[in-house]
Amino acid sequence: MYTQGLNIEAGDKSIPLEDRNSALMQRFQSRIDAEEKVEPTDWMPEGYRKTLIRQISQHAHSEIVGMLPEGNWITRAPSLRRKMILLAKVQDEGGHGLYLYSAAETLGISRAELIDQLLTGKAKYSSIFNYPTPTWADVGAIGWLVDGAAIMNQVPLCRCSYGPYARAMIRVCKEESFHQRQGYEIMIALSQGTAEQKRMAQEALNRWWWPSLMMFGPSDAASLHSSQNMAWKIKRVSNDELRQKFVDVTVPQAEFLGLTVPDPDLRWNGETGHYEFGEIDWTEFNQVLAGNGPCNRDRMKKRRKAHDDGAWVREAALAHAEKRRARQAMTAAAAE
């Protein structure tokens, strides 16, 4: 999910700004301008390659870490129907992670390196997954708001100039709509339920509203490298534009539920045809990115443990495959 991998922090020099005037660069740019897709074996600027590895891998990591907050509720889903749905959704997130890792690998980085970058903290994942899911209503709010924001972000990525990423995003987007609808259905059930259930739904909206708006990343004025990524057609719509679109479609959905969006400054502007909303707490956003959100340490601890606990399985499977290959070769030799 999400394009936070495209938001470069000030002072980060890992992605070079390119000399736009070289002949190769001009040819590359004219292909992009003509809406041609860039494929793995094509020449591409080093900055383009690095930006994409960073963006696609952080997107993949987000899908993988994103399984944790919801996976937390699989054993406690309130009915068999909800449990089957949640299992399918969490499995989808794992699948999305795998499509995206494969797309990143086409840029010349190995799966092991990518996983290493996540587990050592070198690579980030979306800020949103560092928030807790204390009640069942949070599962509903994640589907409705977090997956809703993800769809806003991901639909333009289907037109990304890098072919393998665009193709992976088309698959992801086809599957994502179910995620949002099942979440909203949970919210409908709760908000039409008992007073206590409605309160749960309201509290979950209170918890997830602002972090969902933060998913779109810093405001356009504060986004470094943004114009380069737009010119390369990696990113096609700005953070603020996507955020506004999300608010515009989501507020009426909250009204339908009879819930209140936790923003006293929120109001409809009939002239612009858009909702105006309050200032985002960027200090909180930066703290979460820096590793100090409510669940950052717990999420990474769980990922590392899962990786370490699975090490013997990965090694045993390889050893078994090699043993079987050797045995087949021996049988074949004996038969000759």
Partner 1 sequence: MSQRDWPLYEVFVRARNGMSHRHVGSVHAADPAMAVEMARDVYTRRSEGVSLWVVPSAAIIASDPRDKDVMFETMGDKIYRHPTFYDIPADVKNI
Whole-number minimum distance, CB 29 to partner 1, in Å? 19
Q: Is 301 in the site for partner 1 (CB under 8 A)?
A: no
With helix as H, strand as E and coil as C, how does the chain read? CCCHHHCECCCCCCCCCCCCCCHHHHHHHHHHHCCCCECCCCCCCHHHHHHHHHHHHHHHHHHHHCHHHHHCCHHHCCCHHHHHHHHHHHHHHHHHHHHHHHHHHCCCCCHHHHHHHHHCCCCCCCHHHHCCCCCHHHHHHHHHHHHHHHHHHHHHHCCCCEHHHHHHHHHHHHHHHHHHHHHHHHHHHHHCCCHHHHHHHHHHHHHHHHHHHHCCCCCHHHCECHHHHHHCCCCCCCHHHHHHHHHHHHHHHHHHHCCCCCCCCCEEECCCCEEECCCCCHHHHHHHHHHHCCCHHHHHHHHHHHHHHCHHHHHHHHHHHHHHHHHHHHHHHHHC
Residue whose CB is less far from partner 1, 66 or 217: 66
Enumerate residues 72-91 that contact partner 1 by CB under 8 A: 88, 91
Q: Is 105 in the site for partner 1 (CB under 8 A)?
A: yes
Residue whose CB is less far from partner 1, 92 or 203: 92
Whole-number minimum distance, CB 254 to partner 1, in Å? 30
Q: Is 24 in the site for partner 1 (CB under 8 A)?
A: no
Q: Is 315 in the site for partner 1 (CB under 8 A)?
A: yes
Name the segment binding partner 1 (CB under 8 A); options: 58-66, 183-191, 293-301, 320-328.
Answer: 320-328
Of the residues 44, 152, 168, 190, which one makes contact with partner 1 according to CB under 8 A:
168
Q: Is 46 in the site for partner 1 (CB under 8 A)?
A: no
Q: Is 314 in the site for partner 1 (CB under 8 A)?
A: yes
Whole-number minimum distance, CB 188 to partner 1, in Å? 24
Q: Is 119 in the site for partner 1 (CB under 8 A)?
A: yes
Q: Is 99 in the site for partner 1 (CB under 8 A)?
A: yes
Whole-number minimum distance, CB 297 to partner 1, in Å? 18
- Residue numbers at the binding site for partner 1 (CB under 8 A): 41-42, 88, 91-92, 95, 98-99, 102, 105, 110-113, 115-116, 119-120, 168, 171, 175, 307, 311, 314-315, 317-318, 320-321, 324
